[in-house]
Structure 1
Amino acid sequence: MDGILQVILALLAAIGLLALGWALFGQMLLPGDWSGPVYAVVPAAGEGEHLEQDVKSLLWLRGHKRKQFTIIIADGGLDPTGKAVAAALLSGATGMVVCPVDRLSQYITEK
């Protein structure tokens, strides 16, 4: 019985150390404070391959609510399938826009 208790305590300690390491690693990856607007630009063309994965990765980063940034999908020639993917991503999230590539600098300087 004593051996089982030691194994359980060792597992709990290992899980606790892993959680602590994960939290500290996450803090190291977070950028410092910023005062101006910040944009994450995701280039997209064609059918929008990898668009959903890229945007969802950025939404995961933004999910901690510590740092807010606008996600811009830079439309570099999306076809109807790619535009449908972009529209589906826009419908479920805030702080995201689709902008044609040739208007990207204008959009950023206006905001």
Structure 2
Amino acid sequence: GVQVTSRHFFGVNTNVKDSLYLVAGDNTLIYVAGHNIVMYRLDEKEQTFLSGSNDTEAITHVALSKSKQFLSVCERCTTNNKGRFTIFDLTIANKKKKSMP
């Protein structure tokens, strides 16, 4: 079969308040586009993505830690009326912790 991979995302999800961050040390812009977190490295003009969870319908909030190492992403679940948050370690761009109330 054919496999499709994302190369670029354009636009910002304006439904997510305060969702645009500039990490000055890395010269990286972090923002929400659709159901994805985009990390755009300004110097290299490259994007990397953190996709939303499959069983969620929308990213509702993001927050960057003071150290700029961790990004918290809150999502609304499709199967129930609960939410989910995921904490990403941006130094390895990998999921560190998931929690559902």
TM-score (norm 2): 0.22
**More contact order relative to length (CA 8 Å, sep ≥ 6):** 1
Bigger strand fraction: 2
| TM-score for the superposition, normalised by structure 1 | 0.21
